[in-house]
């Protein structure tokens, strides 16, 4: 058989990758019928595949000898490389599931100190037991958070159900909480039922995770022709509670958080004279990681941690 030697450059888009299995079987078995059986082809179909491979590689690949078919030097050179390639492809198609016991990686979260108190203790207890090789890095909120999670730089952002999601992001509800107002024990405002005017006249601590000072409370008061004095704005809930415990200021924040630190800072909880606002805490992730074994496992551990 004559092979026309004009094929010097072969472009990948011109190659039928289905031939790879046929090539692997032919190089390994050196027998057309046996190779055909290995890949589920008929003997004529495997013969046609061999003809196409000979044209593609500009070489006979297998030739007849006294003992049957033998590999040409080109075939001998291809055999180990094709075997390695098939192994790599099989590995890509059958990647092992995430194994927490042996995993070594960093989990990156965006969270506030509220989440550090309500989620992280139980979560870290679980991770230390199930996946001791994981390390967790918690970062503060910023305007770059949506783009960072989209780029895969952040694994999970803790948010609330009314937080706008960026394109491609998904969220799952974790638990419900509601807001209360905290003042120091013995605060003068506690002597009578708090009215909305009493509330507006207090000196307030405001927690603004992005530092922009925006609050639904101010919108509620403004609709009634009222404003409040925000004497301190911070990004830290626990620090805000410490300030409230030492002054006549007030903080309207999570009931869970205030109850946790009420005795520590000498605080009394008051139902604020505004519509009770329940909120749902969520975990947010980016679409490319939705089915990633590690991320699926991690979200499950977070879900279980807050459920216990």
pLDDT tens-digit readout, 230-249: 999 999 999 999 999 999 99
If asked whether residues 44 and 110 sit together in one domain, one would say: no
12: confidence class by pLDDT, cuts 50, 70, 90: low
What is the chain's mean pLDDT, rounded? Answer: 89
If asked whether residues 85 and 104 sit together in one domain, one would say: no
pLDDT tens-digit readout, 156-202: 999 998 888 888 889 999 999 999 999 999 999 999 999 999 999 99
Domain with 164, as residue range(s), is 100-308
Sign of CA dihedral 142, 139, 301, 97: positive
If asked whether residues 146 and 226 sit together in one domain, one would say: yes
| CA dist., res. 30 & res. 62, Å (int) | 7
Could you say which of 93, 125, 143 is where a domain stops? Answer: 93
Contact 75/50 with Cβ under 8 angstroms? no
Q: Please indicate, yes or no, if residue 144 is contained in any of the structural domains.
A: yes
| CA dist., res. 257 & res. 241, Å (int) | 9
Contact 124/298 with Cβ under 8 angstroms? no
Contact 281/235 with Cβ under 8 angstroms? no
- CATH of residue 51's domain is 1.10.10.10
| CA dist., res. 291 & res. 219, Å (int) | 40
| CA dist., res. 32 & res. 45, Å (int) | 10
From 16-20, 130-134, 146-150, 301-305, the region with the lowest mean pLDDT:
16-20
Could you say which of 93, 122, 147 is where a domain stops? Answer: 93
If asked whether residues 138 and 273 sit together in one domain, one would say: yes
Contact 41/49 with Cβ under 8 angstroms? yes
If asked whether residues 206 and 280 sit together in one domain, one would say: yes
If asked whether residues 116 and 35 sit together in one domain, one would say: no
- CATH of residue 160's domain is 3.40.190.290
130: confidence class by pLDDT, cuts 50, 70, 90: very high
Name the DSSP letter for residue 267: E
Strand (E) or helix (H) holding 250 = strand 250-254
Could you say which of 72, 93, 114 is where a domain stops? Answer: 93
pLDDT at 22 over 60: yes
If asked whether residues 165 and 25 sit together in one domain, one would say: no
Whole-angstrom CA distances from 207 to 202, 211, 234 are: 16, 8, 5
Calculate mean pLDDT across residues 92-103: 78
Contact 20/72 with Cβ under 8 angstroms? no
Percentage of residues in the chain having pLDDT higher than 70: 92
Residues 6+ apart with CB under 8 A from 168: 150, 286, 287, 288
If asked whether residues 83 and 107 sit together in one domain, one would say: no
Percentage of residues in the chain having pLDDT higher than 90: 64
| CA dist., res. 293 & res. 121, Å (int) | 23
């Amino acid at each position: 058989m004559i092979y026309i030697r004009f094929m010097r450059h072969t472009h990948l888009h011109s190659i039928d990758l289905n031939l790879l299995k046929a090539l692997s079987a032919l190089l390994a078995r050196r027998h057309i019928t046996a190779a055909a059986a290995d890949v589920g082809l008929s003997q004529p179909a495997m013969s046609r595949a061999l003809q196409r491979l000979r044209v593609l590689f500009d070489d006979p690949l297998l030739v007849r000898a006294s003992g049957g078919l033998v590999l040409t030097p080109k075939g001998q050179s291809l055999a180990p490389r094709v075997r390695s390639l098939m192994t790599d492809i099989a590995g890509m198609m059958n990647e092992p599931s995430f194994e927490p016991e042996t995993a070594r990686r960093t989990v990156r979260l965006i969270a506030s100190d509220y989440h550090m108190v309500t989620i992280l203790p139980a979560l870290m207890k679980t991770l230390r037991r199930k996946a001791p090789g994981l390390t967790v890095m918690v970062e503060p909120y910023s305007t770059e958070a949506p783009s960072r999670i989209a780029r895969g730089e952040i694994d999970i952002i803790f948010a609330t159900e009314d937080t706008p999601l960026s394109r491609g992001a998904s969220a799952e509800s974790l638990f419900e909480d509601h807001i209360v107002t905290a003042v120091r024990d013995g605060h003068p405002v506690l002597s009578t039922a708090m009215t909305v005017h009493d509330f507006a006249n207090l000196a307030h601590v405001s927690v603004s995770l992005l530092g922009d000072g925006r609050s639904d409370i101010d919108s509620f008061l403004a609709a009634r022709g009222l404003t409040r004095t925000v004497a301190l704005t911070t990004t830290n809930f626990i620090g805000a509670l410490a300030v409230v415990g030492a002054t006549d200021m007030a903080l309207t924040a999570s009931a869970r958080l205030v109850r946790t630190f009420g005795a520590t800072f000498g605080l009394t909880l008051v139902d604020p004279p505004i519509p009770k606002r329940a909120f749902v805490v969520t975990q947010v992730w980016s679409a490319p990681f939705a089915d990633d074994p590690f991320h699926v496992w991690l979200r499950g551990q977070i879900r279980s941690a807050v459920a216990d």
